[in-house]
Structure 1
């Protein structure tokens, strides 16, 4: 590609070379005519004599020889450590007594994937997928969170005062655990995420029993239906509530196919797992709440922001609502 400030294009170089070689112009006169130095004029004239018109094309700026490049043996050692131990450039550099920037260049040169793109268990590149239309697959999962005591926990007041608040406001229906530590109970977030649009529906419950999970799905199904999404398949893990007859019958009655992930492979249900991580970062632990009630009151607004306003990297910065035209039900 010719630089935008370059005085010569490929056509201009050809004209310059022909003026010197064929018409016999002096180098200085040709340089003045085409606004380049005599040295430049000589270079293009010599190249025209050797290669003809084809010599006027751009050439890569890469040098023919790189004496300062990392030796091939060292590059092989870097790649071997990366594949065997899945370390980053800094750890590999310390292990091999190199500079991190050198290791990074080697990894980039050979196109090795980032560690975030690799499966932790196997080291293989994670293959991303996305269903073609909304409702083709819906991911369902449950996230367990510890409740916040009234007055705030240790994230607000530190361990001492947070422990006293926990002892004063523990769940009376749950006995103390071993060691005298209070048991405040848990919140269970039941969540359904559409694979194509990332549209999410979530509720907070006190347990993860089959009746609770089945009731949640019926409301989630109604939510997706109201948004104009026809659910075809549902993907869950192997939790007991998802293996119950109640769950099976609820999906069968709606003509929905139930799929389960392979045991100990949460990556298969990765879209809802990633939603859970976003939920923790941007809602559950986003600020120091003073009580569990305060945190729960903030949840509906956060979920609305996620669906309608928060840009999603997998959607090119657009919110999930951008892929669900009838989310508000205005066309139904």
Structure 2
């Protein structure tokens, strides 16, 4: 997604390809827009191949994952987790896999922590952070949130046990021990 200070937003890209489409040189349009010729050619090529849909930002996620664990291995890991209710090290030892691979598979399927599973049935009983219920409201002030903290006993009067205090001060010419100690007695 484009940020506010991006050279080209989707609207700016559309203006750029319209200028190029009207017959102007790509290098001149790129200089006007403050981008490189390579970038201008990239957006022009995408526009020719996909139309205006090619001018929006794409996801940066890889299109394929060739080293991903196979579906049959993932199924075996999930079945083993359900049957044994044990951790990745135990499952990895039984299936002949690396513990990190088993942990990654369990995390991908939302059963990475044993404490989130029912000890008897093995079903998920605690919501993960991704599936936690959140409450949102359409405008500020539509929800009042109050946090309450219970404190210990506070006696009447707010806890002030000393009812009278006396303050005494003197100004002396020096800070010698004899001068300071004469009033301390």
TM-score by length of 2: 0.60
Q: 1 CA distance for matches of 2:30 and 2:89?
A: 51
Residue in 2 aligned with 1:118?
A: 117
Question: For each residue in 1:200-222, what CA deviation from the matched residue of structure 2 results, as whole angstroms up to 9, or x when unmatched?
Answer: xxxxxxxxxxxxxxxxxxxxxxx
Q: 1 CA distance for matches of 2:59 and 2:38?
A: 20
Aligned pairs (5 A) from 1:125-144: 125-126=124-125
Q: 2 CA distance for matches of 1:107 and 1:34?
A: 48
| 2:52 is aligned with 1:68 | no
1:321 to 150, 169, 185: 150
State the 4+ residue runs in structure 1 displaced beyond 3 angstroms. Answer: 3-6, 327-330
Residue in 1 aligned with 2:13?
A: 13
| Partners of 1:89 and 1:100 within 8 A in 2 | yes
Distance 1:74 1:3, change over 3 A: farther
Q: 2 CA distance for matches of 1:26 and 1:104?
A: 54
Following TM superposition, by how much is the alpha carbon of 1:116 offset from its aligned partner in structure 2, in angstroms?
0.9
Aligned pairs (5 A) from 1:205-224: none
| Aligned residues between the structures | 137
Distance 1:80 1:69, change over 3 A: same
Q: 1 CA distance for matches of 2:98 and 2:148?
A: 41
State the structure with bigger RCO (CA 8 A, min sep 6), 1 or 2: 1
Question: For each residue in 1:71-108, what CA deviation from the matched residue of structure 2 results, as whole angstroms up to 9, or x when unmatched?
Answer: 11211111111111122223322332323332222222
Structure 1 stretches lacking a partner, 5+ long: 129-317
Q: Which has the higher strand share?
A: 1
Following TM superposition, by how much is the alpha carbon of 1:319 offset from its aligned partner in structure 2, in angstroms?
7.0
Residue in 2 aligned with 1:29?
A: 28
Residue in 1 aligned with 2:48?
A: 49
Q: 2 CA distance for matches of 1:35 and 1:4?
A: 16
Distance 1:105 1:14, change over 3 A: farther
TM-score by length of 1: 0.36
Q: Which has the higher helix share?
A: 1
Following TM superposition, by how much is the alpha carbon of 1:329 offset from its aligned partner in structure 2, in angstroms?
9.8
Structure 2 stretches lacking a partner, 5+ long: 128-146, 157-185
Aligned pairs (5 A) from 1:298-313: none
Aligned pairs (5 A) from 1:188-207: none
Residue in 2 aligned with 1:77?
A: 76
Residue in 1 aligned with 2:143?
A: none
Aligned pairs (5 A) from 1:130-169: none
| Partners of 1:117 and 1:125 within 8 A in 2 | yes
Distance 1:72 1:46, change over 3 A: same
| Partners of 1:113 and 1:125 within 8 A in 2 | no
| Partners of 2:26 and 2:37 within 8 A in 1 | yes
| Partners of 2:111 and 2:124 within 8 A in 1 | no
